[in-house]
Amino acid sequence: MGIDPFLETFTDKVPILQVFAQRVRIGELASNGNPIRARSTEDYVRHVAQTFQSVGAPDPRLNSNNNIDFRLQRMIAAWKKQDPPPNRVKPIPMQVLRQLATVAQQSHLEYTRATTDMIIIAFFFLLRPGEYVDTNRNATESDPFRLADTQLFSGQRRIDQVTASDADLLDATLAALTFTTQKNGVRGEVISLGRSGDPFICPVLAIARRVIYLRNNNAPADTPIARLFPPTDGSAGGPTKITSAHLTKELRAAVNFIGPSLGFVEADVSARCLRAAGANALLLADVDGDIIRLIGRWRSDEMLRYLHTQAAPLMADYASRMLKAADYNMIPNQSVPMA
């Protein structure tokens, strides 16, 4: 904008922030050059404030009472009213995973098997795309899980993933992922899951298959688990990196194959759906919401509220239950006449 970056010559910095926010919102200063929503614009302004604070300067958004200035609040609130409703992800049902598993089990392509395994892992562990595959963004705060971040157990015994046989790895009863730089994860935190009971759609088996593949290709411990190695015969074997775009493509193909009976179309689906899908499955299985938030590392109930109202099995009998339960009498106060 051609002015002092820390606005030291301005007593009132809010008008400058408003101009900046407006230019970001219409796309002039947004990273992708396109108009963005109010919430994203608010994030840009917050990042500016954090930059000020990082050098010891006060937050330029705040008034004398340490509250967000009314002018900024009013501007952002007005933009939020103008924005269209949020385009929430659709929690894909198990039918989609079964279709993918059927194709993967019949395929000789490692790409197909690997993408399906990554989809299974993301579904069961409630992962964001940037936590388990490469994304198209230059993410600096989150890296995909690596081979070194995986663990397999047989009962209480931790399996040595370097020396164990393939059969031993596939006999594992529990798999664990250790968070390092993943978003909203506590560094060093370990989340583990046991067997699902399905011979293919299982988080333990999916991780075991990735470990076996990477080990057979002499991958070092810091190799992300979403990696493919070109075959030695020079034939096409898929990309080196498995990306969120690849998973989105496979998910949409499965949705398109199944058809509109799912209640949505392929354009509604992306790799981001898997986190919501796993949470929805837990919700339908009557798992406590606090546990779901812990597994998915959510900090609010917003996603659970959305999933609850969108899940047909949960909502199906509410009307009949309301009809049966709505006959009651109120306890009167002293102003109500005696019956």
Boundary residue ending a domain (82, 107, 136): 82
If 0-12 CB within 10 Å is exposed, 13-18 middle and 19+ buried, where does residue 223 land?
Answer: middle
Question: From first to last of its 339 residues, what are the pLDDT tens digits of the chain?
Answer: 556 667 777 888 899 999 999 999 999 988 778 899 999 999 999 999 999 999 888 999 999 899 999 999 999 999 999 998 766 777 888 999 999 999 999 999 999 999 999 999 999 999 988 899 987 655 445 689 999 999 999 999 999 999 999 999 999 999 999 988 655 556 778 889 999 999 999 999 999 999 999 999 999 999 999 999 875 445 555 448 899 999 999 999 999 999 888 888 888 899 999 998 898 888 888 888 888 888 888 777 766 666 666 666 666 676 777 667 766 566 777 777 876
Cβ count near 127 (within 10 Å): 25
Residue 119, exposed/middle/buried by CB under 10 A (0-12, 13-18, 19+)?
Answer: buried
Would 307 be classed as within a structural domain?
A: no
Judgement on whether residues 119 and 226 belong to the same structural domain of the protein: yes
Q: Does 334 map to a domain?
A: no
Residue 4 host element (H or E):
none
Q: Are residues 249 and 107 in the same domain?
A: yes
Q: Which residue, of 238, 268, 298, is where some domain finishes?
A: 268
Same domain, 113 and 226: yes
Cα dihedral 121→123→128→133 (10° resolution): 40
Residues of the domain holding 20: 14-82
- Total Cβ atoms within 10 A of residue 133: 27
Q: Are residues 158 and 240 in the same domain?
A: yes
